[in-house]
Amino acid sequence: MGEIKQRELTLEQGEQYYIRTASETNAAAILDLYRSVLAEDRYTLLLLEEMQRTEEAERKAIADEIKRPGCLRVVADVDGLIVGMARVKAGGLKRTAHFGDVDSVWVHSEWRRHGIGNALIDTIVRWAEGNKGIEKLGLFVFSTSEAAIALYHQNGFMIEGRATRDIKFAEDDYADTVIMGRMVD
Ligand X SMILES: CC(C)(COP(=O)(O)OP(=O)(O)OC[C@H]1O[C@@H](n2cnc3c(N)ncnc32)[C@H](O)[C@@H]1OP(=O)(O)O)[C@@H](O)C(=O)NCCC(=O)NCCS
Q: Using CB under 6 A, list all residues that contact ligand X.
A: 37, 43, 105-107, 112-118, 141, 145-148, 150-151, 154
CB closer to ligand X out of 60 and 160: 160
With respect to ligand X, which residue has the nearer C-beta, 28 or 150?
150
Q: Which is nearer to ligand X, 69 or 138 (CB)?
A: 138
Amino acid identity at 33: L
Calpha distance 1→131 (Å, rounded): 10
From the list 164, 168, 170, 169, the residue with the least C-alpha distance to 178 is 164
- Chain position whose Cβ is nearest to ligand X: 117
CB 92, min distance to ligand X, A: 21
For residues 11 and 17, the answer to whether their CB atoms sit within 8 Å is: yes
- Least Å distance between CB 135 and ligand X? 21
d(CA 158, CA 152): 8
CB 74 within 8 A of CB 20: yes
Supply the minimum distance, in Å, between the C-beta of residue 23 and ligand X: 21
Nearer to ligand X, 69 or 174 (CB): 174
129 neighbors 89 (Cβ within 8 angstroms): no
Least Cβ distance, residue 116 to ligand X (angstroms): 4
160 residue type, one letter = E
| Residue 33 Cβ vs ligand X, minimum distance, rounded to whole Å | 9
Spatial distance between the Cα atoms of 104 and 73, rounded to a whole number of angstroms: 9
Q: Please, which residue, 133 or 166, has the CB nearer to ligand X?
A: 166
